[in-house]
Amino acid sequence: MHPDKPDILLERFKSKPKEANPTVIMQVAYHSVFLKVSPALHKWWSPDMTLNIKEHDDGSSITKVTGPNPGTFTLAMFVITFAIVISFFALMFALSQIQLSTSPLISILVIAASVVLAFLVIAILGLGRIKAHPQMEMMDEFVKDIL
């Protein structure tokens, strides 16, 4: 909650880029403010922040959504989904090999490798979340300075 009306807050955000801030890139569209880390500081773990400013009885309601870089998140979800699908196909193949009384060793190794790959990607995403924390705090401070 903020005591000022949304139009006043959006004007504050629109006037801020006139001042030099080399660490945060900001775009204002309709009732939303989109924040990103500048290209000079951008890493694969760099977060994005979206502020949605809506009219409320006593002023404005501000909703902050912070998340991973969409490209990184999409790639990670693709790899995890791919690993899960491959493991299910390998499991079906292993079950058919067992029914045919042949060795399912290769299928079991593929299942294990797929599961390890999925957990490795999840661990890397967790590491990225930890590394992104200072940049999230930097964007929070940027928003607090404007508000």
Question: What are the pLDDT digits (tens) for 59-87?
Answer: 788 888 888 888 889 999 999 999 999 99
pLDDT at 57: 78
**Are β-strands 59-68 and 24-29 bridged in parallel, bridged antiparallel, or unpaired?**
unpaired
Mean pLDDT of the chain, nearest integer: 88
Task: For the full predicted model, state whether its pTM sits above 0.85.
Answer: no
Residue-range domain boundaries for the chain:
6-68, 71-127
Question: What's the pLDDT band for 145 if we cut at 50, 70, 90?
Answer: confident
CB 56 within 8 A of CB 46: no
Strand stretches in the chain, DSSP E: 24-29, 32-37, 47-56, 59-68
CA pair distance 62, 81, nearest whole angstrom: 34
